[in-house]
Amino acid sequence: MVDMKKPPASVTMDNIHEARFPHEQDRSSDNVLNLKEAAAVLHCHPKTLRLMARAHKIPAVRVGKLWRFSKERLRDWLEAS
């Protein structure tokens, strides 16, 4: 019987930390922003950005319930505006 209160022995705090909280230097090379990050870059409220993404007014991709924004595509979109 599996004890549901304990994680598997292969899961360590180091593994969880790396999976959920990438190092800042790794994030700087990442080309994808989440909704809050993109809103901060564009100086708008996340709800406004979500509405723009739903209306296809800004380049975005929906992954499940989450919106993702490419830095490069946002830059191109801003230059075209």
pLDDT at 23 over 80: no
Return the CATH number of 31-80, one of 1.10.10, 3.90.550, 2.60.290, 1.10.287.
1.10.10
Band (22; pLDDT cuts 50, 70, 90) = very low
- Give the pLDDT of residue 72: 92
Q: Which two tokens stand for residue 30?
A: 């990442």
pLDDT at 5 over 50: no
pLDDT in tens, 25-80: 445 447 899 999 999 989 999 999 999 999 999 999 999 999 999 999 998 988 88
**Can you name the residues that pair with 32 across neighbouring β-strands?**
70
Domain locations in the chain as residue ranges: 31-80
**81 vs 69: CA distance, rounded Å:** 17
For residue 37, what are the contacts with CB-CB under 8 A and spacing of at least 6? 69
Band (81; pLDDT cuts 50, 70, 90) = confident
For residue 34, what are the contacts with CB-CB under 8 A and spacing of at least 6? 66, 67, 68, 69
